[in-house]
């Protein structure tokens, strides 16, 4: 007598029956999977175990009769990881399907607006695609989805989205923040990005996710930080985030701290008031001026951000010098005045001794596309390395750029890691001398 073959099934992860709700709360591991935890599935397991025990003594196995075993099923849902999980940086696409060129900026947006934008794709069940663009101009993959929800003016990828956010901790996560995993060694394997929608319970082990993944955009309870590669996800907060007047978070854009005085701001200043100033400015739309977020040491980012806010008020000349006076502080502290309309994430780097300022290593990496790459390529051609550019320099970073930079570095006598093909500050300085 052949042992009976039992069919496995996976209940939906969003099943709301009392049993599933209970087990989702107390189970230390994800429910979906082999006899996932659904009451009916557990009952089936008991029956299967009892029957198997009764038949084990004298019955031949199903395999002995040539019955194939039930297919293996994972113990937990695994995020689909296609060969190329996303497209590269690209501009928005207009109604006619053609790219709309322009600088990528970080427009101010509230948490409520981010989540509402994310929900539009979930409601429409936008199909996943690494090459197609939805009617709003954004690429239909994970990074295009976050670019859309944050309101960026271009399509980014997992290798560049971190430039538009500031690192935060798990405890600081709030709806609208992102969780990013970028695999720099092999970007096509595992890289993924999702939006955080809020904790599902007080234990902070599961949260509501908003993501674009095959077959379409979805929202569901997800274990922190993700089903796979969990330890590699990093939380980020959008730099252009502003307070939502309709929520308690609006207080984040205001402060009761009185203006400390002009001596606390400017070159050489290093104190808590500089940090607070930066936080107030970011809440008003100046996030794009801060590469790593506000800090205690006064720098060019603080001055440019302050000046942008002052100009947003219509001020000019000495009234918009980038140094906060009593009136600037009052508007920031009370949440009044006009917000900064937009702040580019690639402000012009200052020049030194006639050499154009080095913009930073993040502008030269696989997937990057910007004017600095074009400028780098043109300078390399001028220096005699044009053989690496059969089609001429262009904004998208590629192997031609890396090989040309490497040849230039080797010509300086550098070897090993000093000649890796990626321009650092010294490579940049020598190249433009």
Question: What pLDDT is attached to residue 299?
Answer: 86
Residue 84 has pLDDT above 80, yes or no: no
Does pLDDT of 316 surpass 80? yes
Q: How far is CA 386 from CA 412, 421, 427, in A?
A: 17, 15, 17
Average pLDDT over residues 252-271: 85
- Residue 245 confidence (pLDDT): 53
Distances (CA, A) of 163 to 80, 104, 167, 278, 422: 25, 11, 10, 17, 18
Three-state DSSP class for residue 396? strand
pLDDT, average across residues 14-25: 53
Sign of CA dihedral 50, 51, 54, 56: negative
| Strand intervals (E) in 99-249 | 99-100, 154-155, 165-167, 178-181, 192-199, 206-213, 216-223, 234-238
pLDDT of residue 421: 92
Q: Would you state the pLDDT for residue 25? A: 54
In tens, the pLDDT along 170-206 reads 999 999 999 999 988 776 677 899 999 999 888 899 9
Q: Can you tell me the mean pLDDT for 37-51?
A: 43
Q: Which of 166-180, 344-358, 379-393 has the highest mean pLDDT?
A: 166-180
- Structure confidence at residue 177 (pLDDT): 95
- Tokens read off for 50: 């009892």
Q: Pick the residue with more confidence: 408 or 3?
A: 408
| Average predicted confidence (pLDDT) for the chain | 76
Share of the chain above pLDDT 70, in %: 71
Task: Give the separation between CA 75 and CA 363, rounded to whole angstroms.
Answer: 40
Confidence of residue 58 (pLDDT cuts 50, 70, 90): very low
Judged against a pLDDT cut of 50, whether residue 209 lies above it is answered with: yes
The answer to whether 86 and 140 have CB atoms below 8 angstroms apart is: no
Rounded Cα gap, residues 63 and 65, in angstroms: 5
- Cβ atoms of 150 and 113 within 8 Å: the answer is no
389 compared with 344, residue with greater pLDDT: 389
pLDDT at 18: 52
Q: Is the pLDDT of residue 219 over 90?
A: yes
Average pLDDT for 78-89: 54
Give the pLDDT confidence of 359-372 residue by residue, as tens digits: 878 788 876 777 78
Which secondary structure element, helix H or strand E, spans residue 92, and what is its range? strand 90-93
pLDDT attached to residue 288? 66
First to last CA, the chain: 86
- pLDDT tens for residues 146-178? 999 998 888 999 989 999 999 999 999 999 999
pLDDT at 291: 59
Contact between 325 and 331 (Cβ < 8 Å): no
Whether 35 shows a pLDDT value over 50: the answer reads no
Among candidate residues 127, 132, 339, 141, the one with its CA nearest the CA of residue 253:
339
Nearest Cα neighbor of 225 from 235, 212, 216 is 235
Mean pLDDT confidence for 10-38: 48
Report pLDDT for 345: 40
Tokens describing residue 3: 């042992």
């Amino acid at each position: 007598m052949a042992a009976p073959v039992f069919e496995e099934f996976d209940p939906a992860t969003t099943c709301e029956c009392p049993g599933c709700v209970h087990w989702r709360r107390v189970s230390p591991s994800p429910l979906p999977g082999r006899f996932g935890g659904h009451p009916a599935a557990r009952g089936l397991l008991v029956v299967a175990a009892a029957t198997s025990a009764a038949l084990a003594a004298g019955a031949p196995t199903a395999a002995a009769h040539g019955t194939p075993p039930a297919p293996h099923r994972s113990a937990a849902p695994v995020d689909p990881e296609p060969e190329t999980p996303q497209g590269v940086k690209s501009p928005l696409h207009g109604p006619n399907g053609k790219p709309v060129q322009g600088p990528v900026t970080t427009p101010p947006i509230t948490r409520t607006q981010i989540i509402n934008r994310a929900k539009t794709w979930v409601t429409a069940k936008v199909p996943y695609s690494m090459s197609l663009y939805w009617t709003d101009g954004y690429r239909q993959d994970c990074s295009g989805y976050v670019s859309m929800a944050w309101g960026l003016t271009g399509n980014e990828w997992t290798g560049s989205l971190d430039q538009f956010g500031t690192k935060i901790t798990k405890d600081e996560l709030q709806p609208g923040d992102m969780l990013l995993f970028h695999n720099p060694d092999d970007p096509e394997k595992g890289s993924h990005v999702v939006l955080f929608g809020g904790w599902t319970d007080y234990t902070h082990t599961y949260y509501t996710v908003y993501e674009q993944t095959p077959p379409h955009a979805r929202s569901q309870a997800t274990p922190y930080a993700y089903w796979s590669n969990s330890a590699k996800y990093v939380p980020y907060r959008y730099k252009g985030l502003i307070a939502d007047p309709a929520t308690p978070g609006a207080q984040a854009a205001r402060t009761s701290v009185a203006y400390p005085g002009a001596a606390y701001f400017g070159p050489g200043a290093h104190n808590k008031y500089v940090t607070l100033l930066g936080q107030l400015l970011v809440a008003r739309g100046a996030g794009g001026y801060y590469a790593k977020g506000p800090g205690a040491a006064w720098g060019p980012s603080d001055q440019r951000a302050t000046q942008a806010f002052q100009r947003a008020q219509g001020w000019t000349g000495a009234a918009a010098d980038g140094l906060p006076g009593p009136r600037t502080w009052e508007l920031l502290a009370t949440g009044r005045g006009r917000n900064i309309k937009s702040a580019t994430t690639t402000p012009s780097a200052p020049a030194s001794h006639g050499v154009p300022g080095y913009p930073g290593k993040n502008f030269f990496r696989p997937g990057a596309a910007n004017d600095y790459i074009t400028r780098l390529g043109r300078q390399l051609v001028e220096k005699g390395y044009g053989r690496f550019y059969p089609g001429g320099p262009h904004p998208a970073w590629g192997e031609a750029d890396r090989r040309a930079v490497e040849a230039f570095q080797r010509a300086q006598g550098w070897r090993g890691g000093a000649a890796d093909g990626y321009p650092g500050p010294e490579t940049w300085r020598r190249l433009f001398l």
